[in-house]
Structure formats: structure tokens, C-alpha cells
Amino acid sequence: MAKSTPTKAKSTSDESSKGDHSWSIEGPIQILDPAGKVIDKELEPKLPDDELKEIYRWMVTARSFDERALSLQRQGRLGTYAPLSGQEAAQVGSAWALEQQDWMFPSYREHAVQVVRGQRWVDILTYWGGSEEGNRIPKNVNNFTISIPIATQILHAMGAAWAGKLRGEKMAAIAYFGDGGTSEGDFHEGLNFAGVFKVGTVFFCQNNQYAISVPRERQTSSETIAQKAIAYGFDGVQVDGNDFLAVYYITNRALEKARSGGGPTLIEAITYRFSHHTTADDWTRYRSAAEVEEWKQKDPLIRFRKYLENKKLWSDKDEQKLLEEAKAEVAKAVEEYEKLPERDVEEIFKYTFAEMPWNLKEQLEDLRAYLKEKKPEE
Amino acid sequence: MAQLTLVQAINDALKVEMRRDKSVMVLGEDVGVDGGVFRATEGLLQEFGAGRIVDTPLAESGIVGAAIGLALNGMKPVAEIQFDGFMPPAFDHVVSHIGRVRWRSRGRFNVPMVIRAPYGGGIHAPEHHSESPEAYYAHTPGLKVVMPSGPYDAKGLLISAIRDPDPVIYLEPKKNYRAFREEVPENDYALPFGKANLLKEGSDITVISWGYMARLSLQAAEMLGEQGIGVEVIDLRTLVPLDINAILASVQKTGRCLIAQEAPQTCAFGSELMTLIQEKAFDSLRAPLGRISGFDITIPLYRLEEAYMPDAGRVIRKIKEILQFS
């Protein structure tokens, strides 16, 4: 189920970035400290209590989904999977700021963004469980399919926002990528085009500190990723990616700016992936347990829960209930995933072209004939 | 009807489509103020404005990657890559995305876009300006590959390419850009994909070709006609989709076939044609299939370029060799 339309936090000033500290690339924007205390009252989004609880529900469900997916993979019930734990605030926070008309271009780790935007948990399992059916995105959901080649989606997002500008639509596009993605040529070309044509794109970098095993320092000698925006002629900003409120605040602002013709923004959300790059690697080969533990102290879920508790919106009982509900929601998705119907082999041929040409038809028929011959022996 | 060169016919096709459909736009390097290095987009900036005729930064991956996003959100981009040899930077988007988007999204998304590029040698250009890369694209699922040989075809095929729901690689024979003129209707007309053009009828041997080599093969066929040899010449027009019926009908009639292509020989598109003919018309063959190609080398700089480029003499020589077999 997709999120309901969020209430918009008000921008603190007009969209001119001049002299506005909140676009500053020096030090990440933070609204909540790790103890869940509001340290910048002025920037705190004024979200209704119910919505805050709804947001927390999303983050907890994403974590629960992630843990279950990892376990399914280990049991041989799911293919290679890219875990998101630790990045829930960066993902749900940015997705929460998107409006229906906006376009979202994910990389391969944005499961929470995809689902907040209207795909389903079962779709994520279906895709990573080896079926293209998981990429069947509902008509009214402007999510693009995930892009596995690193940073390529940056250009697609920029192009989609450019089309919106040419067609006079009030929309923005957001591109998700990681710290490793900023080393690719397409990062440069995408941001460069966006700057030149003043295209309403939000470039959302989840700097989770590692590209598989290679640390952030090996990707660039720039002090920050955000500062790269200066060279492209637009705003860049660092945000504490484990602080939902800060991520939501700044993404919302960047999107509003994009929708109203103010051009692109680069957001560097500083975060950390608690687990492996994918289930095909082992994080203990390139990170120390102490480092991971240090980041777990900055867990985005704990911080947001403390915020709710400080606001007297949350109790241990609520927490227990939510954990159970999240587990049940995920279990339902798993159940549906494991009952997916068998697909006909035509499915692998039929979407190559708008109309199937003779050679594909011939190859499909040949495969069918072979499968028919093969069957009696099984 | 006007007598147009191939490059003028392309210009005309772009104008016709941009007038008809406001979502059609052109993006590339030097396509605006300069009108394209070959003048294919001359006058378009003046008529359609800088929003739809876009001089981009010098970045081919950027051009094609942007075109994907533009196409996803309602535009019909015609991306110009200035030369065949500059297509590789955009290759990631071409092979990793444009041919896969429909498949990946189960038909929710498609990218109706055209990538135009001049291809081929023979114009005394520097390195990276004379390539024949069609096999890469024909090999990639989900792409249509179009290679016109002359002005009339160029216009009708480009109009079809722009209207096509699938991504199209449209390779223009730069040696034929201004080599000759043809009657080209002023109105819009779309030539269907997957329908080859029978350039000349003959009963002794079939020559299958496309792009620059199609017209060269026709010249060779006419020369052989004076010697009493009946050469049938098929211009494929589109490699993907392929008009297999036209090929088989002709080969079944003549029993002999030569493939004439400019690209390096190994794993070239001609190799696929020879395989298909062998699979589907073996019984009709009266001689081994033959081919002339470029060589399996980098196309040389211009002092020895002529030694690389297949000419009518090589086509004639190979046809005679095949005819000697039986």
C-alpha cells in the first residue's frame, strides 16, 4: 500500500540559495540528534502525529522485510538480494517528499522507496526471486524499473525531468545512486546536462560509505560528494541520512525547487549499510565489527522511535504491536511470493518488441517443441 | 517532387515529423546553430526553436541516456551521434537499457527514440569517422536497425523510425550523403520496416546488400547485365526486422547468392544472412554462398582507404567466382 499524500513542510525561505545556510555543503544538515532530540526547531517539518507514526511503521516494515529477505536468500528461497538495513531514513525520508506526478529512478537497493511509492513488497521478492514480473509497475505509479548498471539512471531521471519541463508539467524527477556511482561518467554527464538545461532533477546520493568493498575515500578525493554540485553550477547539500526529518526536509525543498523551475540539486545523504552489498559478498572482509557497531549506534529507526517517544507518541506496547504487524505484513508478501503461478515461456519472448518478429516467433516455437519432447522423460 | 540528396531527404523527414508531432525533438552535438556537421539538421533551429533542436554538451552517453528519459516521459527524441566512431561512449545505454526497457518493465515502458549516425568509409575522414558498426546493434535484442541506401528510402524510413514504438538505430551512409539525387515526394510517406527493396531483377544470382553497398552492388549488376549475366539485387533497408521472405524467394529463384557488406568480415551481419539462407534454402542452392566484406582490420586512413572499401570490381569478381561453380 502506497503512502497517503504527506503534508508538506514549509520551506524556510524563498528558493534562492544565496546566503541560505540550509544549502550549505559544510557539515550535514541534522534536525534530530542520535538521541532523537530536535536540535534545529526551525527546520523541523510540522508533520501530523498520525503521519509520524505512519512513517515509523514504514521504516520498521522495511527493516523487517530486509531481514526476512536475507533469511529467505540464505535458505535458498530467494536469489541474490541487496539489503537496505541502515538506510531506511534516507529511503523513506526522500520517498515521503515525492508527489504522485514526480518520477523516481531507483538503483537496485531502493526497495523501501519503491514500495512507499506504490509497488508492493511481493513485487520486490518476485524480482529478486528471478521473475521479471516483479518489475510490473502499476500505470499510475511513476517509478522506473531498477537500473543495475551503476549511475545510468541519473541520465534517465534527468531526461524525464527535461521532458516534463518541455511539456510544461509541474513535476520533478529523483535519481538514486550511491557513493560509488559518483565515480561513473554518467554521474558527470547527468549533472552537467541538468545544470546546463536547468532541469528539475534531484540527484539523491546515498553515501553508505562503501561500493561493495571499496571505501568512499577511494571514489573521490573531494572532501564531500555534495561539493561536486558547485562545479555543475547548482546547489549541493549534505544531510544526515539516518535522520528522517532532515532527509525529508531537504528532499522536499529540493523537489519543490525542481517543480517550480529552480533547477537541480545534489543531495548527499550520509548513511551506512549495516549488511552486505548483496548476499553474494561478505562484509567482514572489508569492514571491522567495531566500525559497523559504531554506525549501529546511529540506527535511523532508534533515532526516530526516540523522537516519537519524546513527543509522547510511542510506547513499548506500540513498539511490540508494530513489530508484530510488520512481521505479519512481510509474511503475507512471502506467502504470496511463494505461490506465484508458473509462467509460460512466451513471457520471455513477448516484450522484446512491440510486435514479435518472425525470428522470435520461430525461436519460441522451436523451444516449445523441444520442451514438449522433453516433458515425458521428466 | 523535388530532386534531393540523401542528407536533404533526412532533413526533410525531420521537418515533416517535427511539424506533424510536437513531441519530436532533435538533440546532439552541433545540431542547432551549425545545422549538423553534415547539415542534416540545417534550418531546424530556426523553424522549431532551441527547446526542440538542442545543442547538447559534448557527451554521447549523456545524449542517449537523456533521450531515454525524454522518451519515457512523452517526448520522441531523435538523437544524433556525430560519427559512427563516437557511438561507443553511448553503448552502455544502447545495450543495457534502450533495447531492454519494454522487456524489463513488462511493457509498461518503452523508449520510442531514434539514434541517427553517419556510418561507413570512403570520405577521406580521420580515424573513428569511417566505421560500419551495424552488427553490434543487430546482435542486441530489442533494437531495430535501419540502413537506407538512397534519398527516397532515407526519408520514408526515417519517418517510420520516428513513428516506431521501439528504439531504432538509423545508420546513414555518409559516402552517399551527396553522391546522387532522387525524386523525393514532398508529403510524408512511411516505408515499412522489414520490407526489402528489389533494386534489380535477375535470374542468375542474388546479391543481398544494404546502405552504401546496395547502390554499389546495383552498379556492378548493371555492368554484368551488359555481359549477359542476370544479377538480382536486394536492398534490405532494415536489418532488424529482416525481410526473410524476400531473401528466400530470390535465392530460391537464382540458386546463388552473394552478400555484399562494408563491415569487417568476422561475425558481420552477412554471416547471419548466410546462416539463415543455408538453414532455410539449402535445397535451392546451386553454388556455395559467397561474401565480400571489409577486412578484419581497422579501416585504414585515407591513403590506403580505397584498398579497404569494396568496389564494383570486387563485387563482379566474386559473382563470377560463384557462377563458375556450376
Nearest-Cα distance to chain B for A292, in Å, is 34
Domain ranges of chain A: 21-343, 345-378
DSSP state of A143: B
Same domain, B152 and B233: no
User: Does the structure show a pLDDT above 60 at A8?
Assistant: no
Which of A7-11, A366-370, B13-17, B68-72 comes out lowest in average pLDDT? Answer: A7-11
Give B171-211 pLDDT, tens digit per residue.
Answer: 999 999 999 999 999 999 999 999 999 999 999 999 999 99
DSSP state of A273: -
Q: Do A357 and B25 touch (CB under 8 A)?
A: no
Q: Which chain A residues touch B279 with a CB distance below 8 Å?
A: none
User: Does the structure show a pLDDT above 50 at A368?
Assistant: yes
What are the cell numbers at A367? 523451444
Looking at residue A19, its pLDDT comes to 40
Q: Do B71 and A159 touch (CB under 8 A)?
A: yes
Q: Which chain B residues touch A158 with a CB distance below 8 Å?
A: 65-66, 69
Give percent of chain A above pLDDT 70: 92
DSSP line for A342-377: P--THHHHTTSSSS--HHHHHHHHHHHHHHHHHGGG
- For residue B218, the domain's CATH number is 3.40.50.920
At A18, the pLDDT band (50, 70, 90 cuts) reads very low
Among residues B93, B124, B128, B129, the one annotated as catalytic is B129
User: Does the structure show a pLDDT above 70 at A25?
Assistant: no
Give percent of chain A above pLDDT 90: 91
**Are the C-beta atoms of A192 and A230 separated by less than 8 Å?**
no
Give A152-166 pLDDT, tens digit per residue.
Answer: 999 999 999 999 999
Looking at residue A251, its pLDDT comes to 98
DSSP state of A298: T
Decide if B192 is inside a domain.
Answer: no
In angstroms, the Cα distances linking A37 to A34, A43, A272, B278 are 7, 13, 21, 76
User: Does the structure show a pLDDT above 90 at A4?
Assistant: no
Mutate which of B64, B73, B103, B168 to disrupt the A interface (most A C-beta within 10 Å)?
B73
Same domain, B150 and B208: no
Looking at residue A10, its pLDDT comes to 35
Looking at residue A1, its pLDDT comes to 45
Give B286-311 pLDDT, tens digit per residue.
Answer: 999 999 999 999 999 999 999 999 99
Same domain, B16 and B164: yes
Give A317-347 pLDDT, tens digit per residue.
Answer: 999 999 999 999 999 999 999 999 999 999 9
Decide if B259 is inside a domain.
Answer: yes
Q: Which residues contact A283 (CB under 8 A, 6 or more apart)?
A: A275, A276, A277, A292
In angstroms, the Cα distances linking B292 to A181, B266, B269, B323 are 44, 11, 12, 15
Q: Return d(Cα B28, Cα B54) in angstroms, integer.
A: 7
Q: Return d(Cα A211, Cα A182) in angstroms, integer.
A: 10
Give B93-150 pLDDT, tens digit per residue.
Answer: 999 999 999 999 999 999 999 999 999 999 999 999 999 999 999 999 999 999 999 9
Decide if B46 is inside a domain.
Answer: yes
Give A87-127 pLDDT, tens digit per residue.
Answer: 999 999 999 999 999 999 999 999 999 999 999 999 999 99
Q: Does B102 touch chain A (CB under 8 A)?
A: yes
User: Does the structure show a pLDDT above 60 at B282?
Assistant: yes
Q: Return d(Cα B169, Cα B240) in angstroms, integer.
A: 10
Tell me if the domain spanning A21-343 has CATH number 3.40.50.970. yes
Range 232-261 of B in CB contact (< 8 A) with A = 240-242, 244
Mean pLDDT for the stretch of residues B248-277:
98
Same domain, B10 and B111: yes
Same domain, B75 and B220: no
Interface of A with B (CB under 8 A): 103, 105, 132-133, 135-137, 139, 144-145, 147, 149, 152, 154-164, 166-167, 173, 185-186, 189-190, 192-193, 196-197, 351-354, 357-359
- For residue B9, the domain's CATH number is 3.40.50.970
Q: Return d(Cα A176, Cα A243) in angstroms, integer.
A: 17
Last residue of a domain, one of B184, B210, B227: B184
Looking at residue B118, its pLDDT comes to 98
Give A202-233 pLDDT, tens digit per residue.
Answer: 999 999 999 999 999 999 999 999 999 999 99
Domain extent for B103: 2-184
Give the H/E segment covering residue B221. helix B212-225
Q: Which chain B residues touch A155 with a CB distance below 8 Å?
A: 61-62, 65-66, 68-69, 93
* Selection from A286, A229, A274 nearest residue A82 by Cα: A274
Decide if B189 is inside a domain.
Answer: no
User: Does the structure show a pLDDT above 80 at A298?
Assistant: yes
Same domain, B7 and B131: yes
In angstroms, the Cα distances linking A10 to A7, A38, B39, B172, B204 are 9, 17, 50, 53, 80
Same domain, B78 and B18: yes
What is the C-alpha end-to-end distance of chain A, expressed in Å?
Answer: 41
Phi-psi bin for A214: left (phi > 0), alpha (psi -120 to 50), beta?
A: beta
Task: Identify the closest residue of chain B to A105 by CA–CA distance.
Answer: B69
Looking at residue A27, its pLDDT comes to 76
Q: Angle CA(A119)–CA(B97)–CA(A78) in degrees, nearest 5?
A: 45
Decide if B80 is inside a domain.
Answer: yes
Same domain, B276 and B208: yes
Same domain, B165 and B250: no
Looking at residue A24, its pLDDT comes to 62
Looking at residue A79, its pLDDT comes to 96
Mean pLDDT for the stretch of residues B2-29:
98
The CB density around residue A96, as the number of other CB atoms within 10 Å, is 23
Q: Which chain A residues touch B242 with a CB distance below 8 Å?
A: 357, 359
Q: Which chain A residues touch B165 with a CB distance below 8 Å?
A: 354
Task: Identify the closest residue of chain A to B66 by CA–CA distance.
Answer: A159
Last residue of a domain, one of B184, B206, B236: B184
Tally of domains within chain B = 2
Same domain, B31 and B175: yes
Which of A137, A152, A154 has its CB closest to that of B96?
A152
Q: Is residue B93 flagged as an active site residue?
A: no
**Sheet (strand B197-200) strand order:** B197-200, B231-235, B205-209, B257-264, B290-294
Looking at residue A375, its pLDDT comes to 83
